[in-house]
Chains A and B, each alone.
Chain A
Amino acid sequence: MKSFKHFNARTVAEAVQILKAFEGHAVLNAGGTDLLGALKDRFLPTYPEAVINIKTISGIDYVEEDAEGLRIGAMATLASIARSTVIKERYSVLAEAAGAVATPQIRNVATLGGNLCQDVRCWYYRYPHHVGGRILCLRKGSGPCQAVTGDNRYHAIIEGKRCFAVCPSDTAIALAALDAHIRITGPAGARSVPILDFFKTLGNVLKPDEMVTEIQIPRPADGNRQRFIKLTLRKPIDFAVVSVASIMMVENGICRGARIALGAIAPTPIRATKAEQEIVGKPIDAQTAAAAADVAVAAAKPLSMNGYKAVQARALVQRAILA
């Protein structure tokens, strides 16, 4: 691995200060499970001058609940989220999503903040530099999207215009269904953005000197039912081909509210708002679920090889509603 400066940050303020000092040439190391591979493969044209270890910041791995909802420190590990009693009880979709990531070993070190900020898995984007040179594309500054004419079996079927890489984060999909906010800290202080606004087609809204410090989740209404379903080619250590996270409010068999988020089919997490509107107020049965599922994927515009993802997404929406 090429050398870089290494810092052990003690506080969020210190980490932010170092980020600022390096003017975009420093990266944060939370769990490191995504970062180290990126550094080794050198698929980005730039290489960080500094790596800031934020595992040394104490007190930002909390899981705290009050009447308003849940607050999770960005450094909480996926393993701790997956086994947290409070999360399993009232925010189970998040516990399921966190538990569906990678392997126990990776979940023990990977963090929620890191899971949200990880880089995409597009195999053109990630092509290792030392086996014939990296592939440049819009996400790296400029260049054509090879996925459009190439092997796009795992790429976006919705909203992929300039870039067809999909959001790889499982927890982001659960958080989208939970209407979470992401708290971001920078040199000027902190701000909070809704989860869907956090992601952009080519990355996220973080400025080079900002970091995610907390995830805030409003307390869902009592009596809801939550579900996270992830399709992969194999069970462990696999990113979603398609995923769905849902929170359904059902009374006497009638849907009183629905929040359905779809993962791995678009550059960002997306909410199936039309499907939600379709099902609300209706009895939940095979027919209404099928109708809502049809609506959920109606906007899909698959590439040459990924039409099957729309079929899978439709099936998952249907299953999430009926669950």
Chain B
Amino acid sequence: MSDEYRFIGKATPRGDALDIVTGRTKFVGDIKQYGMLYGKVLRSPHPHANIRSIDTAKAKRLRGVEAVLTHEDVPNWRGGVPAHLRVLDSKVRFVGDAVALIAARTEEIAAEARELIEVDYEVLPAVYDVVEAMKPDAPRLHAAFPGNVVPPGFPWFGPHTLQEVVIGDVEKGFEEADIVVEGACAYENFPNPLPPEPPGVIAAWEGADALTIWTASQGTFTDRTVLYYILGRKVNVRAHGVAVGGSYGSKNTAWLLIVQAAVLSLASGKPVKLCYTKEEQFAAFTLRLGSRIQARIGMKKDGTVTAISGDWLVNTGYYCAGTQGQVAVGCGEIQLVVRCPNWNLKPKVVCTNRAPSGIVRGYGGQELKCAFLPILTMALEKADLDPVEFFKNNYVKPGDGYYWRDGEWWVSNGVDYTKAIEEGAKAFGWKEKWKGWLKPTAVSGTKRIGVGVGVHGNADVGEDTSEAYVRLDPEGTATLYSSISEHGTGQRSSLCKMVAEVLQLPLERVSMTPPDSLANPYEFGTVGSRGTFAVGSAVIEATEDARRKLLELAAQKLDRPIEDLETADGVIYVRPTPEIRLPWKAVMGFDRTCLGHGRFEPNFTMPNFMMVFAEVEVDVETGQVALLRVGSATDVGQIIDPLNLENQLNGSLGSAGIDSAIFEETILDRATGRVMGGNMIDFKWRTFAELPPMQHVVLETPFPSHRFKAIGVGEITPSPGPAAVIMAISNAVGVRFYDYPITPDKILKALGKVQGRKARGGAA
């Protein structure tokens, strides 16, 4: 299929590759501004406390210290949804919460000053569990949230943001069911997405109402918009996007970090760089949401689901950055996986005295799906149905509808994924490996092998708006104006490829502006799964617009109808008589550019798709689990760049992905409220040395998206994985599990090999 294109679908070098591997790429850590100070944060030792008093006098006297700020010194700026969290408050709500901010000439001085601040706390009781937090006598974290329940509503997604899945009549649905199952499952290991680069920013006030930041956020305009509202709707924020050392959603916007730097810059009158340490990234930056579901599912013997009801409890940590948006998308995504006429799924977002949870790839849907699928499979077991067949019958097909995040009913205009499922299952050898529910594929000594499968998809390939300009220069070059940040997926290079393909220009003649909210038109950012369809559509439209303007000029000059004109390699020629040709320069002169404009409006009609197959080996004597093999299946419409796509698919491992089923876990000590093992050794993450074999099936069925018929796969690659692995482990050892991650202690306990002494205090 890719033969029809010059660049699209071909492996081409990433424009930024050489700079990254030779160390020339500049990250926040590499950037300095004149007179720049360094910020540090004093963090709370208590999970919940009122600050009685803070004495900063000694810290302020230390030579080289230029600002020390407490809750008494900062403006009443509030973030979160609804706006409820002050930059510094008279109350702390988790171990690691910000108590004071320091700016000094060096990091060492700032750290030393931090030691000199004396704080008197009134310690309050803390709560970490969602159910406990909702009890009437539970400690309340925010005055505005009775019962610690965050009110629904997410302005970004409009006035009707989806808050629940309520469709049909569940009572009737359960009456029609042959099988009714009920259960609870917790995906509450709060894995850290763990981008290699800890969060960092530089903030500098250029005037009373003008703030410039150098940010590693995924979206410069998200920073700009969010800060506009937080900073009192009068500050014009210019966001320079710098290379992002990984994000996995967590740096969608780091508003609190940015505002911390901004208040220090305001107080000191100088640019301030604030970079969290790795330990702060572990203990005080974005973790995945906690997700617990209590659900009831009704099903007919043939696998037709008749009713789904349940409570979905979402643990957002000490404040809510915008979890309602994740709940909305999760509620949309679950409808794509199960075809059911009767729903009553009610989410609640709850605050607890934990580190913040927020945006991590999978954005609500992975959290819900991982907790929901193990309960759904109870019904599949009772009906003795093969899960692959079930998913094939249930995954959303063209013509099927769903309520999406905006609360509107959308109908799929995408492709049927049956073929992708069938080919994925075939490549994995599913039929040979699947022996039935709770039955191992093979047994050898103490080792048991099991397989599992999971599925996920979202309609967010077309989420939010994008704008782009494309400028053609007489020299035969093109520049794309787009505020797309590069956080590792190669998106910037892929967009340049699209421009090159439309203009038939060699890749090296296409360049792109740096992400910058001043120089570029509006761009929601490289987030979700929107790069290929949403951003790509705006870029293609801008390129086609610029090309048309160029050809209009040429048509006048050549006195030919525009329909007869073509351009390639910076030359315009007449189609019937290609010997009649003019270089762009001859058409434009030296003093003209052609500027095209493109805009994309949200379109939720094309759900994407990802299926993950997993094969595990469990040692029933030690409880050790080895992930032997991962298979995947998707349909991307048209591959833009095969290597970037493969990396995206391989990236289903790591970073709060598949391994959150077996070892990725942020461990909270409930006696002290502290994160345990918050370092790169004790927090378990998979290294390259133990990547299992992976096999990806990628189909290219044309989508009605844009001229390249592509939608990509985006953020969803890890999302089906954890449920696939928990199914595989259950099948290997013959016991069901409902509490991620499945570590050796849980396996040995389930097999009755450990006399389960109940945890005293214990961990999350």
Contacts and interface: CB of A to CB of B under 8 A. Distances in A.
A1 interface: yes
A135 interface: yes
B95 A131 contact: yes
B672 A135 contact: yes
A127 interface: yes
Interface stretch (A57-65, A179-187, A228-236): A228-236
14 contacts: A2-B112, A121-B681, A127-B674, A132-B44, A146-B669, A149-B760, A150-B762, A151-B676, A153-B745, A234-B684, A235-B690, A237-B681, A304-B761, A308-B744
B755 A236 contact: no
B689 A236 contact: yes
B302 interface: no
Interface string B74-87: 00000000000000
A237 B687 contact: yes
A308 B684 contact: no
B414 interface: no
A239 interface: yes
A132 B282 CA distance: 13
A132 B95 contact: yes
Contacts of A126: 679, 682
A252 B46 CA distance: 63
A304 B685 CA distance: 25
A31 interface: no
B43 A302 contact: no
A126 B671 CA distance: 16
B663 A130 contact: no
A315 B111 contact: no
B152 interface: no
A1 B622 contact: no
A50 interface: no
B687 A308 contact: no
Contact of B674 (A103, A132, A234): A132
Interface string B621-644: 111100000000000000000000
Contacts of B745: 153, 305-308
Given A1-B108, A235-B690, A315-B622, A304 B760 contact: yes
A239 B684 CA distance: 11
A1 B279 CA distance: 14
B283 interface: yes
Contact of B45 (A3, A121, A132): A132
Interface in A68-124: 103, 121, 123-124
Nearest to B668: A151
Q: A132, A237, A312: which has the most chain B beta carbons within 10 Å?
A: A132
A307 B669 contact: no
Interface stretch (B228-236, B395-403, B477-485, B746-754): B746-754
A130 B277 contact: yes
A237 B745 CA distance: 20
Nearest to A306: B745
Interface of B: 40, 43-46, 95-96, 108, 111-112, 114, 277, 279-280, 282-284, 446, 621-624, 663, 667-672, 674-682, 684-687, 689-690, 743-745, 748-749, 753-763
Nearest to B677: A123
Given A126-B682, A127-B674, A308-B754, 5 more contacts: A1-B108, A130-B280, A307-B754, A307-B755, A308-B623
Nearest to A134: B45
A311 B277 CA distance: 38
A133 interface: yes
A238 interface: yes
A236 B687 CA distance: 7
Nearest to A3: B108
Interface of A: 1-3, 37, 41, 103, 121, 123-124, 126-128, 130-133, 135, 146, 149-151, 153, 231, 233-239, 241, 302, 304-308, 310-312, 315-316
Contact of B279 (A41, A306, A308): A41
A68 B336 CA distance: 72
A34 B111 CA distance: 22
Contact of B682 (A3, A123, A312): A123
Q: A130, A153, A236, A307: which has the most chain B beta carbons within 10 Å?
A: A130
A218 B150 CA distance: 67
Nearest to A313: B622
B682 A234 contact: no
Contacts of A302: 757
B96 to A, nearest CB: 5
Contacts of A103: 687, 689
Contacts of B763: 150-151, 153, 305
A135 B111 CA distance: 18
A141 B667 CA distance: 26
B45 A133 contact: yes
Given A37-B679, A131-B96, A132-B95, A149 B112 contact: no
A255 B748 CA distance: 30
A209 to B, nearest CB: 29
B96 A150 contact: no
B687 A131 contact: no
B759 A304 contact: yes
Given A3-B108, A233-B663, A315-B622, A121 B687 contact: no
Contacts of B753: 308, 311
B149 to A, nearest CB: 27
A150 B671 contact: yes
Given A149-B761, A311-B748, A130 B674 contact: no
A236 B669 CA distance: 25
A236 B623 CA distance: 18
Contacts of A233: 663, 684, 743-744
Given A146-B669, A304-B759, A311 B96 contact: no
Nearest to B659: A234
Contact of B622 (A127, A235, A312): A312
Contacts of B44: 132
A306 B757 CA distance: 9
Contacts of A132: 43-46, 95-96, 283, 674
A241 B663 CA distance: 13
A304 B757 contact: yes
Q: A3, A150, A237, A312: which has the most chain B beta carbons within 10 Å?
A: A150
Given A2-B108, A130-B277, A231 B622 contact: yes
A312 B686 contact: no
Nearest to B756: A307
Contact of B681 (A235, A239, A307): A239
Contact of A234 (B43, B45, B687): B687
A151 B283 CA distance: 16
